[in-house]
Structure 1
Amino acid sequence: MNKTPSLLLVRQLFPQISQLELLIRWRLLGGLVILGFALGLSGCVQADLAIQIKGQAGGEIQQHLQVSRSARPFLEQLQQQARKLGGTSKHQNGQTLDLRIPFDRPEDLSRKLNALLAPLHQTQAPTLPIIPAQAEVTDQNLLLFIRGQFDYTIDLRAFGIASGSSSDPIVLSPQELVALTISLETPWGARPGQASVKDNSVTLINPHLEKHGHTLTWALEPGYINHLQAVFIYPSLLGWGALGIVGLLSLAWYWRYRPLALAAQKVINSNPAAS
């Protein structure tokens, strides 16, 4: 195998480093150079996705996105997609976009989350790779309560480069410096479906999870498949409404027939022989 002059120079300066270590360190150095060029040319990507579930009344998806100037076509397509989903958008200085998309049911939330990133597959922005994502939000009726489950998988492997180590395969983001956060707010708060663990070498479950009040927030890890899981409970308006109606009918029946019951009891008490 032919060595470049730079590799030969490093090899002469550090003869104690093995060939494999040399290649790994040289690859890391190359990644740092790539990252430096990327930051100098295109800046960073910042995306904050907030999901607010208001119970059976539905909720709203809010997203704040800031990208480099070269990614303007992506922002325009994302803005058009948000309007198709019944949302509103606010575009600022060509690099910042704020979206608000309402939803009704958990199935509607899943559909709109999955459709939100659809323009990314057709974008002409060369610095943004494809981000496969799949959301599934379900609910289960427990009569007086609704149990919801939130599952969201986002593949960010396109934003990382391999380090050559099996224990920690991802070290850098070569094209953009990526900062992605997702938050979930529910009426009574939520709990993670599983603890924050590394499922395998490329999949992270509930990465960098924090809880503040009724909100769970994940800071996604570039270079990995991020799997977000949460379980939450909120009151069922239909269930509590039905229980209230039954209670009112029972109370009305009691007050209507109570005089008759008292009169019958008085008659029985005054005529013990008849009983």
Structure 2
Amino acid sequence: MKQEIVNDITGKKKQHFLFLLPFVLCLLTLVTGCVQYDVGVNFDSQTRGEIVQHIKLGEKLTSFSSEIVGDWLKSVERRVRSLDGKTKRLSDREILVRIPFNNGAELESKFNQFYEPTTIEKTKKSQATSPLETDLPKFKSHLSVKQNNLLLALRNRLVLELDLRSLSLLSSNDSLLLSPGGLLELDFSLNTPWGARNIETVTGTIVPKSDRDGKQLVWKLKPGEINNLEAVFWMPSPVGIGALIIALFVAAGSSLKYQLLPALGIGKKTQKIPQT
């Protein structure tokens, strides 16, 4: 029993480490711009959206460790399939990921599961061992979405906390030896039908760029630091709008039947004069 627990913990560490592998290799090889990682959350409507990830690895990185990078890409594909998503290999070093969601709660669940592969692949313990498994870096990510239904629209508050301090090289006294900013390009974007508004509630909150007439916010993440993002946006509520349209039709029909038509003399019954 004890051995099984040890094996399970080891397996979880391997899975988490595989996800960070390209970033670690960047730091070890010091290849400039070797990982470009774009993460986007796209809301098409209140009940439909997707998480889109575009991952591009530098040519020098793939040539340096093509086998390890290949294993990492396969690990990403497994995680995506477990979340009912799809992957598309654009090249041997570039991949496009799409993970659908139906509401804010499902977005929160799937996003956090993807970046915590231990909850997805915890039953898989047959991963090949790697000599890089010692001193594994730890990477914390948490996304939360709170929704309030206000009849005609849904108010959404999205908060993302991403701790990327493990992607920097520190000395024994915790002083920064190397900032990975020039090695890694990490972006997070939010796309909504009515646009979104950035909220600065924490000191050091990243200020995003606004594109597409305010319908897209793009945050440039800072490797080696704690990144805090927060935004508020509104979504149209089809149920609320549909209920309002039905109520207007009922009110219009009632007004037409009992007020407008009688005023025009339409619909009145003619009284018959009795014959003598």
TM-score by length of 2: 0.69
Q: In 1, are the aligned partners of 2:33 and 2:185 still within 8 Å (CA)?
A: no
Cα RMSD of the aligned pairs, angstroms, is 3.4
3-state DSSP class of the match of 2:143?
A: strand
Q: Provide structure 2 residue ranges, at least 5 long, that are not aligned to the other structure.
A: 1-24, 122-126, 269-276
Tell me the distance in 2 between the aligned counterparts of 1:72 and 1:35: 15
Q: 2:112 aligns with which of 111, 114, 117?
A: 114
What is the CA distance between 1:230 and its match in structure 2? 0.4
Q: What amino acid does structure 1 have at the position aligned with 2:29?
A: A
Structure of greater Rg: 1
3-state DSSP class of the match of 2:186?
A: strand
1:63 paired with 2:64, answer no
Equivalent positions of 1:126-275 (< 5 A) are: 126=132, 129-162=137-170, 170=176, 172-173=178-179, 177-194=183-200, 199=203, 204-205=204-205, 207-212=206-211, 213=213, 214-258=215-259, 259-260=261-262
Is the alpha carbon distance of 1:250 and 1:61 closer, same or farther for their aligned partners in structure 2, counting shifts above 3 Å? same
Tell me the distance in 2 between the aligned counterparts of 1:229 and 1:165: 32
Question: Aligned residue pairs: how many?
Answer: 222
Is the alpha carbon distance of 1:191 and 1:164 closer, same or farther for their aligned partners in structure 2, counting shifts above 3 Å? farther
3-state DSSP class of the match of 2:46?
A: helix
Q: In 2, are the aligned partners of 1:88 and 1:99 still within 8 Å (CA)?
A: yes
What is the CA distance between 1:93 and its match in structure 2? 4.1
Q: Provide structure 1 residue ranges, at least 5 long, that are not aligned to the other structure.
A: 1-33, 267-275
3-state DSSP class of the match of 1:143?
A: coil
Q: What amino acid does structure 2 have at the position aligned with 1:216?
A: L
Tell me the distance in 2 between the aligned counterparts of 1:96 and 1:147: 35
Q: In 2, are the aligned partners of 1:153 and 1:226 still within 8 Å (CA)?
A: yes
Quick one: higher RCO (CA 8 Å, sep 6+), 1 or 2?
Answer: 2
Tell me the distance in 2 between the aligned counterparts of 1:240 and 1:175: 46
Percent of pairs identical after alignment?
A: 33
What is the CA distance between 1:262 and its match in structure 2? 6.0
Is the alpha carbon distance of 1:253 and 1:74 closer, same or farther for their aligned partners in structure 2, counting shifts above 3 Å? same
Tell me the distance in 1 between the aligned counterparts of 2:72 and 2:118: 7
Is the alpha carbon distance of 1:257 and 1:37 closer, same or farther for their aligned partners in structure 2, counting shifts above 3 Å? closer
Tell me the distance in 2 between the aligned counterparts of 1:192 and 1:37: 35
Tell me the residue number matched to 2:98: 100
Tell me the distance in 2 between the aligned counterparts of 1:163 and 1:87: 40
Q: In 2, are the aligned partners of 1:180 and 1:219 still within 8 Å (CA)?
A: yes
Tell me the distance in 1 between the aligned counterparts of 2:168 and 2:118: 18
Tell me the distance in 2 between the aligned counterparts of 1:186 and 1:77: 30
Q: In 2, are the aligned partners of 1:194 and 1:229 still within 8 Å (CA)?
A: yes
Could you list the per-position Cα deviations for residues 75-133 of structure 1 after superposition, in whole angstroms to 9, with x for gaps in the alignment? 21111111111111012443222101111000011111111123389887749844221
TM-score by length of 1: 0.70
Could you list the per-position Cα deviations for residues 138-185 of structure 1 after superposition, in whole angstroms to 9, with x for gaps in the alignment? 21111111110111111100111358999xx65734699211001001
Is the alpha carbon distance of 1:61 and 1:153 closer, same or farther for their aligned partners in structure 2, counting shifts above 3 Å? same
What is the CA distance between 1:39 and its match in structure 2? 2.5
3-state DSSP class of the match of 1:54?
A: strand
